[in-house]
Amino acid sequence: MSRAHRRTAALSAAVLAVPLFLTGPATAAPPPEVDGTGAEELLVIGHRGASGYRPEHTLASYELAARMGADYVEPDVVSTSDGVLVARHENEISETTDVAEHPEFADRRTTRTIDGVELTGWFTEDFTLAELRTLRAVERLPDVREENTLYDGLYQVPTLEEVLDLREDLSRELDREIGVYVETKHPTYFDGIGLSLEEPLLAALAEAGLDRDHSPVFVQSFETANLRELDAVADVPLVQLVSATGAPADLVAAGDPRTYADLATAEGLAGIGEYADGVGPDKNLVIPREADGTLGEPTAFVDDAHAADLLVHPYTFRNENTFLPVDLREGAAEDDYGRAIDEQLAFWETGIDGLFTDNPDTGVVSRELFTD
C-alpha cells in the first residue's frame, strides 16, 4: 500500500465512525427544510458513493461519501425480475457481486445484447429481489483498489428505497441535506423487456417526499427520450449525461444519426436545455488530454452549456495515477495517488458547477481551496 493510500485509509476509518447501516436509523431532530437543489452551489457528488474506499453502490459506500462531505450520492438503478429498483452500475453483476460463487445460480449465466454490446454473465432482471439478497458486493477494480477487497462479501445489493432511507437518516444526523443523484441505466433496454425504470423511480421519490421542485434530487441518463418523457411529468431537475464517444442508445435504436459529439456542440447543448436542467459530460469534453496524455486547455463546453442555462457536472474524478493525466501522476505504481487536487482545481477554474468523484474527501478539499 502506498503512503497516500495509508493516509486516506486512516482518514476514511476516522470519518466513518459507527455506520448507520449497522446501527439502524438515527433519532436526532428532523432534517432542515429543503431550500433548493443546491443549484447555486459548487457540488461534490459521491460517484457511486465513496467508491474509492468501499465497494461501489453499497450503503457503506454512500454513507462514507456523506460523512466525507459529499453533497449528493449517486445511485445507478437497474431492475430485478419482480420490478424492484436496485443500485448497481450495470445490470450485469459478475464484476460487482459474488454471484459466480453461487452454484445455485450457475444456470442463470447467459448472453445478452445491451445497447448493442454483447455481454455474458448474470443479469439483475433474471433475479427476484429475494434471490439478489443472497449475493454480496465485491470490489469492481481489485487490481487498482486492493484495499477495498477487504470489504468483499460484507454488503448486500441495496434497493433504491434503502438508499433514500439512508439519505434521510444521514440528513438528520449530519444536520445538512444529503441529496441523491439517480442514474437510470439502459432505460430503452429495460422498457423493451417490460421493466420500465421511470415509473418505479418516480413512485419511490414520491414515497420519500422527494418529488417536489426543490427536493435534493437529480435524475440523469445517457439516453435522451426518457429524460424528455420525465420532463413532462416530473418536477425534479434532469441531467443529460454526455459521453466522449458513441451515441445515446435510444437515438441509435430510433435510427437518429446524432452522436454525443453532436450533443456536445453549442447547438446540441441548446437542444438539451429544452428538456434538462443540467449536463454531465465526460470530463475530457471540458478539458481534453493532449496526445501525450497531459492535461490540455479548456474547451468552450462549459460556456456553451451555461449559455443554454444548463448546470455542468463532469465525471469522473479519481485519485489513482491510472486515471490522472500523465503530468499529474506521482510514484511508479498505477494505484499510487497522484496530484488529483491539482486536476480538480483546473476543472473548478473552468466554471463547472460540481463534479463527480470516487473520493469525496478530495473533492471537498479541492472545492475549499478553490473558494478560499
- The 10 Å Cβ neighbour count of residue 1 is 12
Q: Which residue positions in the chain have pLDDT lower than 70? A: 1-40
> How many Cα neighbours within 13 Å face the side chain of 110?
12
pTM over 0.85: yes
pLDDT digits (tens, 9 = 90+) for 21-47: 443 433 333 333 333 333 358 999 999
Q: Given this model, what pLDDT does residue 5 score? A: 41
Q: Is the dihedral of CA 343, 60, 354, 75 positive or negative?
A: positive
Q: Given this model, what pLDDT does residue 20 score? A: 56
pLDDT digits (tens, 9 = 90+) for 298-351: 999 999 999 999 999 999 999 999 999 999 999 999 999 999 999 999 999 999
DSSP E strands, the chain: 43-46, 72-73, 76-79, 85-87, 110-114, 117-121, 179-184, 217-221, 238-242, 278-281, 311-312, 354-357
Q: Given this model, what pLDDT does residue 212 score? A: 87
Q: Given this model, what pLDDT does residue 200 score? A: 98
Long-range own/partner contacts, residues 364-370 (CB < 8 A, 24 or more apart) = 364/44, 364/68, 364/69, 364/70, 365/341, 366/340, 366/341, 367/42, 367/44, 369/341, 369/345, 370/42, 370/344, 370/345
Q: What is the DSSP string of 70-92?
A: -SEE--EEEE-TTS-EEE-SSSB
> Contact, 49 vs 87, CB < 8 A?
no
- In CATH, which of 3.40.50.150, 3.90.105.10, 3.40.50.720, 3.20.20.190 is domain 3-25+39-78+149-371? 3.20.20.190
Angstrom distance (rounded) from CA 316 to CA 302 = 16
Question: Could you tell me how many helices (H) and strands (E) the chain has, helices first?
Answer: 14, 12
